[in-house]
Amino acid sequence: MKKIFFIVFFLILTKNSFASIKENIIAKLTEIENISFEFEQNINGKIESGNCVIQYPRKINCKYNLSNKKILISNGKSLVIKTLSGSYIYPLKKTPLNAILDKDFILKKIKDLKEKDIDNKFINFSFQENENQINLFFDKFTFNLIGWQTIDIYQNISITYLSSIKRNQKLKENLFLLP
**pLDDT of 17:** 46
Three-state DSSP state, 151: strand
| Residue 3 reports pLDDT greater than 90 | no
**What percentage of the chain reaches a pLDDT higher than 90?**
82
Architecture of domain 19-167: Clam (2.50)
Tell me the average pLDDT across 19-42.
Answer: 95
pLDDT digits (tens, 9 = 90+) for 145-170: 999 999 876 788 999 999 999 999 99
- Asked if the model's pLDDT at residue 18 lies above 80, the reply is no
CA triple 45-56-66, angle to 5 deg: 35
Give the closest residue to 36 by CA, choosing from 165, 171, 176. Answer: 165
| CA dihedral (113, 30, 26, 140) positive or negative | positive
Q: Per-residue pLDDT for 12 more than 70?
A: no
User: Does 22 have pLDDT greater than 90?
Assistant: yes
Q: Which helix (H) or strand (E) holds 20?
A: none
Q: Which H/E stretch holds residue 66? A: none
Per-residue pLDDT for 15 more than 90? no
pLDDT in tens, 108-132: 999 999 999 999 999 999 999 988 8
Can you tell me the mean pLDDT for 105-109? 96
